Amino acid sequence: MTKILLTGSDGQVGQDLQQTLIPIGEIIATNRQQLDLTSPDNIRQVIQETQPDIIINSAAYTAVDKAETEPELAVTINGIAPAIIAEEAQKIGAFLLHISTDYVFDGTKNTPYLETDNTHPLGVYGQSKLAGEQGIQKNSDRYVILRTAWVYGTEGKGNFVKTMLRLGKEKEQLSIVADQVGSPTWSYDIANTITQILTKVNLAETKEIYHFTNSGVASWYDLAMAVFEEAKIIGFPLNIKQVNPITTQEYPTPAKRPHYSVLSGKKSAKLLGYNAPYWRDSLKKMLNQFKRVE
């Protein structure tokens, strides 16, 4: 049976992967305590001991603003660790699937980013994720790097959708940035896509970058409005009465974010044989699921 080593098992995508991967192999799920991405020795030891056929790195340092004041930690987890994982994977002949981000781009385009477009991250988080991609490409010849964006899910610590549900319950009025555009993406759809990719690519020789997000585009303001509209129908307790669209300038953050970070899904759709679900449909499914477990 195929042995799959999964990092970041208690994260949003990691928890969903533990469901979607069941049909394709035995999952060795590791969290931060079991596989510490800040410890090169620990990374090497776990990979050598488990001898997996496939490694999925869904662990990451994801605090975009905090990364500006913790650059070393962000680079250690997002940049150095993936390179070490790739090196060890190469030694034992394992295939590596690594999750990356839309934030490797600067957002100056106005058409969806292709896998071949030049990268130019604006902040430490994006720079650290790009370093991870480059480390994998240098150290391994059997990998898929999957870039995704604006991830939310029912699991994991926090995300924009869950934050909106909390704030929508606590407040009557909110101001949300309306001039940053991307594709909100449900973690379950990412997990499902990863599972499909592993069954469709040649694990012996694939070296590819793919983009995957839910289809369609939205601003953070659009997403907030959609969350409140759908949550109201489902019956979440909300007190929100007004949502004001504001500019990035009106809501300064430590990290610069791309104004436009829509990823083209054409390449992954061709591989998978279907188009990604529309973001609002997936949001509806996630909210229904979240309501059941709440």
Q: Which residues are catalytically annotated? A: 125
CA pair distance 258, 97, nearest whole angstrom = 25
- Where are the alpha helices (H) located in the chain, listed in sequence order? 12-20, 40-50, 71-75, 81-92, 124-139, 160-170, 187-200, 220-234, 266-272, 279-293
Of the candidates 182, 58, 66, which has an alpha carbon nearest to the alpha carbon of residue 124?
A: 66
CB < 8 Å & 24+ apart, contacts of 222-226: 222/178, 223/150, 223/160, 223/161, 223/164, 223/184, 223/283, 224/160, 224/164, 224/174, 224/176, 226/280, 226/283
